């Protein structure tokens, strides 16, 4: 009976691997595959999908491809989910890496952990695991930082902000310090909840992120 159970477990494990398994992408194709793992700030919360910064970034990359006649197109996979936490991202990332085989992973998580007041030691540990999983799969990571509203108090918001800088330094990662820079402090660019950008604010979010990823991806002259 034990042997039979073991065979069932082995069969299920192999079936799962086959379901996730994909033909390996060529290195140059992987290098042009980007996975965005984020929360509502990357999922165009309460906006048409094409107004979010990820869609705007994809459109900019496609336009650059057409003007330059690039041989290998960029593929951007937005795996962001509103309400996502670092632990939720950890549960989904292995399959996303196996299926999409990205050369780049943009990690934009932690805000919902912070809004719930989770211990920063746990948030940081989860972010470190996300970084490690991505790198072990052969992807390069860009960390997208976020800051919490000031009403959470400096004893929590300051180390929360600094956590992204510390992780980037520890892992030698490119960092966007605060993706809502120039947006969060402008009420006209924020939705009524005070947490999410309006459609008018999304281009500035992209500008903050593009200033880091554009040069990394060879789009230095594209603004």
CB 174 within 8 A of CB 212: yes
Largest CA distance in the chain: 66
HSE, side-chain direction, 13 A CA sphere, residue 58: 16
Q: Which residues contact 219 (CB under 8 A, 6 or more apart)?
A: 60, 61, 64, 210
CB 181 within 8 A of CB 208: yes
HSE, side-chain direction, 13 A CA sphere, residue 151: 4
Query: Residue 15 catalytic?
Result: no
Choosing from 121, 188, 193, 220, the catalytic residue is: 193
Choosing from 40, 42, 80, 134, the catalytic residue is: 40
Choosing from 32, 42, 100, 196, the catalytic residue is: 196
Query: Residue 193 catalytic?
Result: yes
CB 143 within 8 A of CB 182: no
HSE, side-chain direction, 13 A CA sphere, residue 29: 6
Query: Residue 188 catalytic?
Result: no
Q: Does residue 77 come out as left (phi exceeding 0), alpha (psi in the -120 to 50 range) or beta? A: beta
Q: Give the residue numbers annotated as catalytic, written as ranges.
A: 40, 193, 196
């Amino acid at each position: 009976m034990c042997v039979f159970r073991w065979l069932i477990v082995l069969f299920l494990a192999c079936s799962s691997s086959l379901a996730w398994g994909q033909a390996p992408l060529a290195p140059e194709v992987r290098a042009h595959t980007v996975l965005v793992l984020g929360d509502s700030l990357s999922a165009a919360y309460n906006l048409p999908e094409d107004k979010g910064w990820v869609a705007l970034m994809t459109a900019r990359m496609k336009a650059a491809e057409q003007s330059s006649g690039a041989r290998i197109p960029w593929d951007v996979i937005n795996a962001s989910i509103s309400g996502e936490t670092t632990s939720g991202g950890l549960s989904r990332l292995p399959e996303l890496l196996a299926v999409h085989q990205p050369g780049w992973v943009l990690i934009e998580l932690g805000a919902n952990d912070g809004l719930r007041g989770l211990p920063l030691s746990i948030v940081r540990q989860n972010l470190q695991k996300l970084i490690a999983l991505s790198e072990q799969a052969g992807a390069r990571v860009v960390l997208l930082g976020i800051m919490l509203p000031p009403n959470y108090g400096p004893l929590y918001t300051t180390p929360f902000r600094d956590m992204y800088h510390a992780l980037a330094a520890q892992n030698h990662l490119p960092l966007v310090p605060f993706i809502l820079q120039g947006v969060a402090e402008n009420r006209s660019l924020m939705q009524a909840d005070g947490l999410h950008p309006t459609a008018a604010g999304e281009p500035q979010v992209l500008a903050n992120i593009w200033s880091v990823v554009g040069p990394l991806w060879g789009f230095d002259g594209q603004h």
